[in-house]
């Protein structure tokens, strides 16, 4: 599958102010499963310390082509052979020009000449420099050679100018690197995913909701898209960026999520219910803000429709995968849900620990079917999503 599991990424950091963002790029690449080594040029060192990059990458940082000891430990040819992909981020105007001319006057440019790995560049420079004819010509030459260019962003720059030339976001760089290792296991399939929390109004000001961030669902969306699926997201309340390549429907309440799912379910091949849907909503929503009057307020609740169970009852339905967020009796409760919802599989996550499950970057889950109960060890939600989609495609497609 995609992501960067078991992939060896060599990150080249060259001389641009955006080099200070490179430790975050290392992190995002690691989140996707990559082992990362870093080469920093002399220019790069002006903006980021080798110590930061070494601490975050957990590997010695490489910088000097002529360092005898470094060459003995892992020389430029070994580095070039070691890499599955070389990403230069930020790529300065000077580094881009050097690559165009095939120069080999420092470690990074030498490794680029010596590698047969995929190469990606994320340019970062002043907008006028980026718009210059020389830069455009250089990028065209590199594109023709098969080097992947990650477009810079538009906006205010460190120098005060506004324009195109800001380094792409760290997460986009990592995701685009992972895209180069794409699989086609869900090619041509349609996937519908619910994610985030639902919001159930009490009055015009207050509501009942939960802490779902949408991270798990969005990681699954990314994996499905990577695997070639046409992916639709029904999104409740979330606190993360939305996967740009998905079709997106925003909803607020469980009722709206139900309607949005039912409208689209017939044409789907796979339905993943990752949302934290409120089981109950206030029976009556007050039109006016409820006032304090020194007596206790009672809110009567009524049950929401169960979206997953309703889909599983349909005569023509997709493969259905549910989630179970549990804080005790984990496997027993998850198995009970598998049976009551009548879905193909339940993915159990433990929400009693703060560093996994709800609203965290990591997770640890069990993939439970009638016949199997398989643990997926603690990891970033991207890697957990990769392994879940791998199991789903192996079992059902």
Which residue in 120, 123, 121 sits closest to 165, CA to CA? 123
Q: Min. distance of Cβ 282 from ligand PMT in angstroms?
A: 15
Query: Is 9 an interacting residue with respect to ligand PMT (CB under 6 A)?
Result: no
Nearest to ligand PMT of 9, 254 (CB atom): 254
Active site residue 273: no
Nearest to ligand PMT of 101, 370 (CB atom): 370
DSSP state of 242: P
Q: Min. distance of Cβ 355 from ligand PMT in angstroms?
A: 12
Nearest to ligand PMT of 84, 390 (CB atom): 390
Query: Is 349 an interacting residue with respect to ligand PMT (CB under 6 A)?
Result: yes
Coil, helix or strand for 218? helix
- List the interface residues with ligand PMT, window 286-345 (CB under 6 A): 304, 306-308, 322-325, 337
Active-site entry in 159, 274, 320, 343: 159
Report d(CA 202, CA 287) in Å as an integer: 9
Which residue in 164, 49, 39, 226 sits closest to 114, CA to CA? 39
Query: Is 254 an interacting residue with respect to ligand PMT (CB under 6 A)?
Result: yes
CB-based contacts of 242: which residues, under 8 Å, 6+ apart? Answer: 218, 233, 235, 248
Q: Min. distance of Cβ 338 from ligand PMT in angstroms?
A: 10
Query: Is 369 an interacting residue with respect to ligand PMT (CB under 6 A)?
Result: no
133-165 b/e (C-beta count within 10 Å ≥ 16 → b):
eebeebbeebeeeebbbbebeeeebeeeeebeb
DSSP state of 117: S
Report d(CA 21, CA 47) in Å as an integer: 9
Nearest to ligand PMT of 5, 349 (CB atom): 349
Query: Is 276 an interacting residue with respect to ligand PMT (CB under 6 A)?
Result: yes
SS3 content of the chain, % helix, strand, coil (to 5): 35, 25, 40
Report d(CA 179, CA 279) in Å as an integer: 37
Q: How many residues bind ligand PMT (CB under 6 A)?
A: 28
Nearest to ligand PMT of 181, 258 (CB atom): 258
Among 4, 216, 229, 319, binds ligand PMT (CB under 6 A): 216
Q: Which stretch binds ligand PMT (CB under 6 A): 13-21, 90-98, 182-190, 356-364?
A: 356-364
Q: Min. distance of Cβ 382 from ligand PMT in angstroms?
A: 11
Q: What positions carry a catalytic annotation?
A: 159
């Amino acid at each position: 599958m995609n992501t960067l599991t078991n992939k060896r990424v060599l990150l080249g950091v060259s001389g641009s102010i955006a080099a200070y963002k490179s430790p975050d790029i290392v992190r995002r690449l690691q989140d996707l499963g990559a082992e990362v080594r870093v080469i920093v040029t002399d220019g790069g060192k002006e903006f980021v310390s080798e110590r930061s990059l070494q601490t975050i990458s957990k590997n010695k940082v490489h910088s000097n082509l002529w360092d005898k000891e470094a060459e003995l430990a892992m020389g430029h040819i070994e580095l070039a052979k070691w890499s599955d992909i070389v990403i230069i981020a930020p790529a300065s105007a000077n580094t881009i020009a050097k690559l165009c001319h095939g120069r080999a006057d420092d470690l990074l440019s030498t490794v680029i000449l010596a590698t047969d790995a995929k190469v990606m560049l994320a340019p970062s420079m002043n907008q006028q420099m980026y718009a210059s004819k020389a830069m455009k010509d250089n990028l065209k030459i590199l594109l023709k050679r098969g080097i992947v260019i990650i477009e810079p962003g538009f906006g205010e720059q460190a120098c005060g100018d506004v324009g195109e030339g800001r380094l792409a976001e760290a997460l986009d760089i990592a995701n685009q690197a992972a895209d180069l290792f794409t699989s086609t296991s869900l090619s041509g399939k349609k996937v519908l995913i619910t994610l985030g929390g639902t919001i159930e109004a009490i009055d015009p000001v207050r509501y009942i909701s939960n802490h779902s961030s949408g991270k798990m669902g969005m990681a699954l969306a990314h994996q499905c898209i990577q695997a070639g699926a046409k992916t639709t997201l029904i999104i409740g309340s979330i606190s993360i960026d939305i996967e740009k390549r998905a079709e997106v429907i925003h909803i607020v309440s469980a009722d709206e999520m139900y309607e949005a799912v039912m409208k689209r379910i017939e044409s789907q091949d796979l339905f993943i219910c990752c949302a934290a849907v409120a089981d109950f909503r206030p029976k009556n929503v007050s039109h006016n803000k409820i006032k304090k009057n020194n007596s206790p307020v009672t809110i009567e609740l009524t049950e929401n429709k169960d979206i997953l169970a309703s889909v599983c009852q349909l005569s023509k339905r997709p493969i259905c995968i549910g989630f179970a967020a549990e804080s005790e009796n984990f496997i027993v409760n998850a198995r009970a849900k598998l049976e009551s919802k009548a879905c193909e599989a339940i993915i159990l996550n433990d929400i009693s620990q703060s560093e996994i499950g709800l609203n965290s970057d990591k997770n640890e889950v069990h993939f439970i079917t009638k016949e199997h109960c398989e643990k997926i060890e603690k990891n970033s939600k991207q890697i957990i999503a990769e392994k879940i989609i791998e199991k789903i495609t192996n079992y059902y497609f």
